[in-house]
A and B are shown apart, each in its own frame.
Chain A
């Protein structure tokens, strides 16, 4: 599979995750989100950017539980709950947000 963004073609796996993490650019997230009819707002970008920073530091995509806790700490308690994250990413914050962020599927995520 592949996805078109910014005039380029990016290879993805069968579930739509970017094949090469280093190729990621913001346009990839935008294109993936459009394909799933989920236009990205600043709130989405907060989470996507957080995930990228987390991956950069620890080399793993955080589990949803970890994401929720960390978002609550960084962006405020009102955002650190699964309701808020599921409203932003209805397909599941771990799967969907990690995909847009160009990360692999979180460990333990089926």
Chain B
């Protein structure tokens, strides 16, 4: 039976291991043909920002991996509107995540869904499994 899995990302990308660990679990979990979605709230929205540069902290810049999520059929990426606004960010500050629809001649479609806190709460309610990072 297909279950609805949602990975909730709350932390800034570097400084803790949470963002990278979440991404690894998402990629591994994607092999199991479940209904997977991701939510980015609070400082988690920083994980998706463009132009990350990790040279000064000597860590691998893994922000490119988010661009590959579409290849793994992970194409429901919820970003909380209030979290972006509270940090002075807009959708334009985030990487443009897309997926290709094989059934429509590989048409590129947006993966990011900008939702309000109230809307996201409804989406959370529909899930079978929530994993918080």
Contacts and interface: CB of A to CB of B under 8 A. Distances in A.
Interface of A: 57-60, 62-63, 65-66, 69-70, 73, 107-108
Interface in B24-56: 24, 27-28, 30-31
| The 9 residue pairs across chains A and B that have the minimum distance between CB atoms | A108-B28, A58-B68, A66-B71, A59-B64, A107-B27, A58-B64, A60-B65, A108-B31, A58-B65
A47 to B, nearest CB: 16
Contacts of A62: 68, 71
Contacts of A63: 27, 30-31, 72
A107 B64 CA distance: 15
Contacts of B60: 59
7 contacts: A57-B64, A62-B68, A63-B27, A65-B72, A69-B71, A107-B27, A108-B27
Contacts of A107: 24, 27-28
A62 B65 CA distance: 10
A83 to B, nearest CB: 18
B102 interface: yes
B120 interface: no
A57 B95 CA distance: 14
A59 B30 contact: no
B133 interface: no
B68 A60 contact: yes
Nearest to A107: B27
Contacts of B24: 107
A54 to B, nearest CB: 8
Contacts of A73: 100, 106
Contacts of B61: 59
